[in-house]
Structure 1
Amino acid sequence: MRKLLIILSFLYFGQCNAQDSLHKVIAQFAFETPRLSPKPQLVPGVAISSISLSGNWKFNANENNLSKAGNIRVPGEWVMQGFNVKKGTPAYYFKAFSIPADWIGKRIKIKFDGVSSHGIVIVNGKTIGEHEGSFAPFEFDITPAVKAGVNKLEVIVQCETISDTLACTSQYAAHPVGGILRKVTLFTLPELNISDFFYTVRFDASYTNAQLLLNSNLSAETATHGNATLSYILKDASGKIVPLKNSQKNIEVFNYQKTIPVNFSILVNAPKKWNSEQPYLYTLITTLSFNSKIIQVNQQKIGFRQIERRGNQLFVNNHPIKLRGANRHEVHPLLGRSLTPELCKRDVVLFKNGNCNYLRTSHYPPSEEFLDACDELGMFVESEASLCWIQHGASPIWEKWNYLDAKFLPFMVRANVDNVLAGRQHPSVIIWSLGNESRWSPLWERVNTEVKKLEPSRPTSFHDQCWGGFNNAGSKADLANYHYPGFNGPAACEKDKTRP
Structure 2
Amino acid sequence: MGYMGCGLGYQVLLLIVSLVVISSGKEIVPAEIENAAITRYGNLPPRVDVWPCPDIESALTASYGNSPWVASLNGKWKFHWSKRPEERPPDFFKTDFDSSMWREISVPSTWEREGYGTPIYSNSKYPFRVDPPRVMGEPKKTFTSYIERNPVGSYLRDFEIPREWNDKRVMLHFAGVSSAMFVWVNGEKIGYSQDSRSPVHFDITDKLRPGKNRLAVEVYKYCDGSYLEDQDFWRLGGIFRDVFVAAIPAAGLWDVYAEPEYDPATGAGKITLHTTPMAGAKPEWDFSVLDDAGAVVAKGEDSASLARVIPWFTEQPKLYSVIVDVKIHGKTIQVFRLPIAFRKMEVRGAELFYNGLPLKIRGVNRHEFDPHTGYVMSGELMRRDLVLMKQANINFVRNAHYPNDPLWYDLCDEMGMMIMDEANVESHGLSYHKRVLPADLPDWTKASVERMESMVIRARQHPSVVMWSLGNEAGYGSAFMEMRRACHAADPEKRLIQYADMNLAADLDSQTYPDIEWLKKHVKGEASRKGEHGEESNEVQHGSYPSGRPFLMNEYAHGMGNSLGNFQDYWDLINSEPILCGGFIWDWVDQALYRNRSDPEAGFYYGGDFGDIPNDGNFCINGLIGADRIPHPHYQEVKKSLSTVRFRRSQA
TM-score, length of structure 1 as denominator length: 0.81
Structure 1 spans left out of the alignment, 5+ residues: 1-30, 249-263, 465-470
Give the aligned partner of residue 233 of structure 2.
Answer: 173
**Aligned-partner Cα distance in 2 for 1:129–1:164:** 19
Kept after mapping to 2: 8 A contact 1:36/1:138 = no
Shift, 1:297, TM fit: 0.9
Aligned with residue 456 of structure 2, among 406, 410, 420: 420
SS at match of 2:466: strand
Paired amino acid for 2:356: N
SS at match of 1:192: coil
**1:456-481: CA deviation from partner (whole Å, max 9, x where unpaired):** 521111021xxxxxx6xx63211221
**Aligned-partner Cα distance in 1 for 2:506–2:172:** 34
Give the aligned partner of residue 247 of structure 1.
Answer: 300
Instruction: Answer yes or no: is 1:461 the counterpart of 2:498.
Output: yes
TM-score, length of structure 2 as denominator length: 0.63
**Aligned-partner Cα distance in 1 for 2:46–2:414:** 26
Change in CA separation of 1:213 and 1:91 when aligned onto 2, cut-off 3 Å: same
Map 1:58-457 onto structure 2 (within 5 A).
58-62=78-82, 63-64=88-89, 65=92, 66-84=99-117, 86-169=148-231, 172-174=232-234, 176-204=235-263, 206-220=265-279, 228-242=283-297, 244=298, 246-248=299-301, 264-390=302-428, 403-457=439-493
Change in CA separation of 1:205 and 1:384 when aligned onto 2, cut-off 3 Å: closer
**1:391-449: CA deviation from partner (whole Å, max 9, x where unpaired):** 75779xx8997844332112211221122122111111111110112322112111111
Paired amino acid for 2:70: S
Shift, 1:492, TM fit: 4.8
Kept after mapping to 1: 8 A contact 2:178/2:240 = yes
Kept after mapping to 2: 8 A contact 1:440/1:475 = no
Paired amino acid for 1:82: G
Kept after mapping to 2: 8 A contact 1:92/1:156 = yes
Comparing 312-321 with 230-239, greater Cα deviation is found at 312-321
**Aligned-partner Cα distance in 2 for 1:235–1:123:** 40
Change in CA separation of 1:402 and 1:55 when aligned onto 2, cut-off 3 Å: closer
Comparing 318-327 with 489-498, greater Cα deviation is found at 489-498
Give the aligned partner of residue 23 of structure 2.
Answer: none
**1:241-262: CA deviation from partner (whole Å, max 9, x where unpaired):** 22x2x523xxxxxxxxxxxxxx
Give the aligned partner of residue 504 of structure 2.
Answer: 475
Shift, 1:288, TM fit: 0.3
Kept after mapping to 1: 8 A contact 2:439/2:478 = no
RMSD: 2.6
Paired amino acid for 1:50: V
Paired amino acid for 2:53: Q
**Aligned-partner Cα distance in 2 for 1:393–1:212:** 41
Kept after mapping to 1: 8 A contact 2:368/2:375 = yes
**Aligned-partner Cα distance in 2 for 1:152–1:418:** 28
Paired amino acid for 2:292: A
Kept after mapping to 1: 8 A contact 2:230/2:429 = no
Give the aligned partner of residue 51 of structure 1.
Answer: 71
Give the aligned partner of residue 34 of structure 1.
Answer: 45
SS at match of 1:481: strand
Shift, 1:67, TM fit: 3.2
Kept after mapping to 2: 8 A contact 1:119/1:155 = yes
**1:311-367: CA deviation from partner (whole Å, max 9, x where unpaired):** 222222222211001100001111101111211121111111111001111111111
Paired amino acid for 2:480: W
Change in CA separation of 1:385 and 1:368 when aligned onto 2, cut-off 3 Å: same
Kept after mapping to 1: 8 A contact 2:424/2:451 = yes
**Aligned-partner Cα distance in 2 for 1:359–1:159:** 28
Kept after mapping to 2: 8 A contact 1:207/1:317 = no
Change in CA separation of 1:178 and 1:493 when aligned onto 2, cut-off 3 Å: farther
**1:99-133: CA deviation from partner (whole Å, max 9, x where unpaired):** 11121121101111111111112111111122110
Comparing 354-363 with 196-205, greater Cα deviation is found at 196-205
SS at match of 2:256: strand
Shift, 1:204, TM fit: 4.0
Change in CA separation of 1:179 and 1:230 when aligned onto 2, cut-off 3 Å: same
Kept after mapping to 2: 8 A contact 1:54/1:75 = yes
Give the aligned partner of residue 486 of structure 1.
Answer: 515
Kept after mapping to 2: 8 A contact 1:327/1:361 = yes
**1:237-292: CA deviation from partner (whole Å, max 9, x where unpaired):** 112222x2x523xxxxxxxxxxxxxxx21112311111211101112211100011
Paired amino acid for 2:488: K
Change in CA separation of 1:369 and 1:404 when aligned onto 2, cut-off 3 Å: same
Percent identical: 30
SS at match of 1:497: coil
Q: How many residues align?
A: 435
Kept after mapping to 2: 8 A contact 1:482/1:489 = no
SS at match of 2:382: helix
Kept after mapping to 2: 8 A contact 1:438/1:463 = no
Kept after mapping to 2: 8 A contact 1:280/1:303 = yes
SS at match of 1:324: strand
Paired amino acid for 1:460: I
Paired amino acid for 2:443: K
Structure 2 spans left out of the alignment, 5+ residues: 1-40, 59-66, 83-87, 93-98, 119-147, 526-546, 552-652
**Aligned-partner Cα distance in 1 for 2:104–2:411:** 31
